Amino acid sequence: MSPRPRALVLLLILVGAVACGVDPTGTVDAGPAPVISARGAAASVYLLRDGRLAPKNVATASSAAQDVITALFEVGKRPGDGLGTALGGFRLEQTVLGRYGVDRGVRNDPENPVGLRLHVIVNGPGRLGRTAMAQITCTARLREEIWAVKITQTTSKGPMALGEHTCREYHDLAAAGVNLPP
C-alpha cells in the first residue's frame, strides 16, 4: 500500500476512536418487552328464531356497547344455530354513546342517577323494519347503563330518524321462554 492510503486508513481509525467520546457499555436489561394483550369478550345479542327474538352469546372486541352492536351486525351475516336476522343488507355506520336524563328528571334511580343513550346509525336498502329495530334496541338494553336507543337510518335522501326506543315496546317479539330487558 502506498503511504497516502495508509495514512488515510490510520487517520480514519484514529478519528473513529476519539470522535464519539462515549465509552461503550454492556447490555442493560430494562425488563420484559411490552406486550399488547388482545383480549376479547363475550356478550349476548338478539337474533331471530322463527321471527322471534332469541339471545345468542357471541365473541366481541370488548364488552362496550359499541362493540356489542358491531358484533350484532357481524354475526347477523352468518348467524347459524337456526338463528337469523332482520339486519341482512344493513350496515352499521356509527354508534354514539351520550348521557340520558341529565337535568330532565327522566329517571329516578339512586344507584345510577345518570344513564346513557346509544345512538345507532345504519345504512341499507328500504326502511329498517320493526324486528330489526328490536334486535338493535334489545341487544343494547342488555347493558344496564343504556336506558334508551335512538336509531337513525341514512338514505340517499339524507338521514331518517326512526325514534328513540326501549326494549319494552318489543316484548311481543320475544321467543318462547325468553325474558327481554326493559
Angle between helix 65-75 and helix 130-141 axes, rounded to 10 deg: 140
Quote the CA–CA distance of 179 and 176 in Å, as a whole number.
9
Contact in structure between 180 and 170 (CB atoms under 8 Å): yes
pLDDT tens digits for the chain (182 residues)? 666 777 777 777 766 666 566 666 777 666 666 666 566 789 999 999 999 999 999 999 888 899 999 999 998 777 567 899 999 999 999 999 988 765 544 445 555 556 899 999 999 888 999 999 999 999 999 998 899 999 999 988 899 999 999 999 999 999 999 999 99
Strands annotated E in 102-157: 115-123, 146-155
- Dihedral sign from CA coordinates of 67, 73, 74, 78: positive
Cα torsion at 163, 109, 45, 83 (round to 10°)?
-80
Q: What is the pLDDT of residue 49?
A: 93
Q: What is the pLDDT of residue 17?
A: 62
Quote the CA–CA distance of 37 and 140 in Å, as a whole number.
26
Cell triple for 150: 335512538
Quote the CA–CA distance of 100 and 102 in Å, as a whole number.
6
Q: What is the pLDDT of residue 22?
A: 66
Q: Which of 93, 150, 88 is nearest to 118 (CA)?
A: 150
Q: What is the pLDDT of residue 18?
A: 62
